[in-house]
């Protein structure tokens, strides 16, 4: 039997329900694991051991009293990306400008997880304000990949993926603006789900790009992702973009049956720079689905080549507006100046890191007089074309299959001096956000030397999570990549 910290969320919930262990035992096992491996990973920004154990004890007491109805996660330890508001806990967004800020309220997602009985272990590291693909842009420390601590875990939800892969928590909740859940899931060999835009409330999620951001789970299995989505999805009147559609019983969709399911292979995703081992692994994964009875056909998403350019106009423009609130006046770090302009300059100059400054400056530029039509408006038109490409494709197929990332995880510092190369890593993931559809990354293999995880990305139509999860689960059930664990101890962790 697996160690407690190695269990899936679903397994843990079942064992807790059967009384085979207590939440305190499970939570203590995760905290011990954090103590063992965290020094070599840096997945957490802060750990709340006392709060987690108190919540675990409360969960155990509630279970003894029979107070379990509507609490599917009662006593299960999770961790949160440090971009989601959690009452009375730090909310830094990986930035010095919020270094000492403590949230006075819970995000809607956190409220729903609390009601479901979840235990929160701590706050997970991230690229500053979710701007990055490697978690090297955290103002506090980089996070390392559990499969090779000399390599990045991906980003911006790198702490989420590394912590789940390393067994520090049973699952985590991150955010995905251009692939920030799916890409690190691929690099770390775990599952990352980006729901349809509006499927999960953004209330209490610190905004990077409001029309692109979406909260999503990082887990060890598709079953766990489905379970968490059932808990966190649903309409929220506090979020004007929240969709009113009822939440499905996603777990019931995991039948393992994909016979007749139509899978599209977009020719445009055979991108320049696609690692041959990634290409082979993804092709073999599609063959597995075909062997299960799925129908595979080539499709075209003709405006894919413009996605990176459009994204890196729209996202910085929205970031420029959203980050204007961090000015030293209302909250966060404050650097005094002789006048308001000097105060802003000193505060934002000291509080923001290089990548955040780069994107804010770029976003301000494309929104400025004389450039708005040439850049921002044109990028929004391209975005509409990309969405139309997907909607037309979904008239022919049920799911689109692509690599999650063109390569495996690269070495720390390898791309830090070349932002463009870092941005191009998002080429397979960011169209999903531009189109507002749903996507998932599942483990589908490893490179040979070095041995690093590879992810298969499946994309579904808007509110098509049931079909998406069904396909991902069928593939997972026919393979064992998701069962592989990084050999942290042999690398001298802790």
Q: Which candidate, 190, 192, 148, places its Cα nearest to that of 167?
A: 190
Provide long-range contacts, Cβ within 8 A and 24+ apart, for 445-449.
Answer: 445/277, 445/280, 445/281, 445/284, 445/285, 445/481, 446/189, 446/281, 446/481, 446/484, 447/275, 447/277, 447/278, 447/408, 448/277
22 is an active site residue: no
Give the span between the Cα atoms of 66 and 446, in whole angstroms: 44
Beta carbons of 186 and 160 less than 8 angstroms apart: no
Is 310 within 8 Å of 384 (Cβ atoms)? no
Q: Are 407 and 270 in contact (CB under 8 A)?
A: no
Give the residue among 42, 34, 278, 46 at the shortest CA–CA distance from 150: 42
Distance (Å, whole) CA 133 – CA 126: 9
- Among the options 180, 201, 431, 447, which is catalytic? 180
Q: Is 448 a catalytic residue?
A: no
Based on the residue annotation, tell me whether 180 is a catalytic residue of this protein.
yes
Dihedral, CA of residue 233, residue 236, residue 240 and residue 246, to nearest 10: 50
Of 23, 156, 201, 320, the catalytic one is 156
Tokens for 419, please give them: 């932002």
Short-list 251, 479, 299, 304, CA closest to 398: 299
Task: Find, among 52, 46, 134, the residue nearest to 92 by Cα.
Answer: 46
Tell me, what DSSP letter sits at residue 172?
E
Tokens coding 59 = 């969960």
Q: What span, in angstroms and rounded, lies between the C-alpha atoms of 130 and 272?
A: 26
Inter-residue contact 125 to 44 (CB < 8 Å):
yes
- Residues serving a catalytic function are 81, 156, 180
């Amino acid at each position: 039997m697996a160690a407690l910290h190695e269990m899936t969320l679903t397994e843990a919930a079942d064992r807790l329900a059967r009384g085979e262990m207590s939440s305190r035992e499970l939570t203590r096992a995760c905290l011990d694991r954090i103590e063992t491996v965290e020094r070599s990973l840096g997945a957490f920004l802060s750990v709340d051991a006392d709060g987690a154990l108190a919540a675990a004890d409360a969960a155990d007491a509630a279970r003894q009293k029979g107070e379990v109805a509507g609490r599917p996660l009662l006593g299960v330890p999770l961790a949160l990306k440090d971009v989601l508001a959690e009452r009375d806990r730090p909310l830094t967004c990986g930035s010095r400008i919020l270094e000492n800020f403590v949230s006075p309220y819970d995000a809607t997602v956190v409220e729903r997880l609390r009601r479901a009985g979840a235990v929160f272990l701590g706050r997970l590291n991230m690229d500053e304000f979710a701007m990055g693909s490697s978690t090297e842009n955290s103002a506090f420390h980089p996070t390392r990949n559990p499969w090779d601590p000399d390599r990045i875990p991906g980003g911006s939800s790198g702490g989420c993926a590394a912590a789940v892969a390393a067994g520090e928590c049973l699952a985590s909740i991150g955010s995905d603006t251009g692939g920030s859940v799916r890409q690190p899931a691929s690099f770390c060999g775990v599952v990352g789900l980006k729901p349809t835009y509006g499927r999960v409330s953004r209330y209490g999620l610190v905004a990077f790009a409001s029309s692109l951001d979406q909260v999503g789970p990082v887990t060890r299995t598709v079953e766990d992702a489905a379970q968490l989505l059932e808990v966190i999805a649903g309409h929220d009147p506090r979020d004007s973009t929240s969709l009113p559609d009822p939440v499905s019983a996603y777990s019931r969709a995991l039948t393992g049956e994909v016979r007749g399911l139509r899978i599209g292979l977009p020719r445009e995703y055979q991108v320049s720079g696609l690692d041959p081992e990634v290409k082979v692994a993804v092709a073999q994964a599609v063959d597995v689905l075909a062997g299960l009875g799925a129908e595979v056909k080539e499709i075209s998403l003709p405006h894919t080549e413009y996605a990176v350019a459009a994204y890196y106009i729209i996202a910085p423009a929205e970031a420029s507006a959203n980050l204007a609130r961090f000015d030293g006046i209302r909250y966060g770090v404050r650097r005094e100046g002789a006048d308001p302009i000097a105060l802003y300059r000193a505060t934002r100059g000291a509080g923001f890191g290089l990548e955040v400054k780069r994107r804010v400056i770029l976003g301000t530029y494309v929104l400025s007089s004389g450039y708005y039509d040439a850049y921002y408006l044109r990028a929004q038109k391209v975005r509409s074309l990309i969405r139309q490409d997907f909607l037309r494709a979904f008239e022919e197929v049920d799911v689109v299959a692509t690599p999650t990332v063109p390569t495996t995880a690269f070495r720390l510092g390898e791309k830090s001096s070349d932002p463009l190369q870092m941005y191009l890593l998002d080429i397979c993931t960011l169209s999903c956000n531009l189109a507002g559809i749903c996507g998932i990354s599942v483990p589908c293999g490893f490179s040979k030397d070095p041995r690093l995880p590879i992810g298969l990305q499946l994309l579904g139509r808007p509110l098509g999570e049931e079909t998406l999860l069904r396909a991902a689960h069928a593939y997972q059930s026919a393979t064992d990549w998701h069962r592989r664990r990084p050999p942290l101890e042999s690398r001298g962790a802790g």
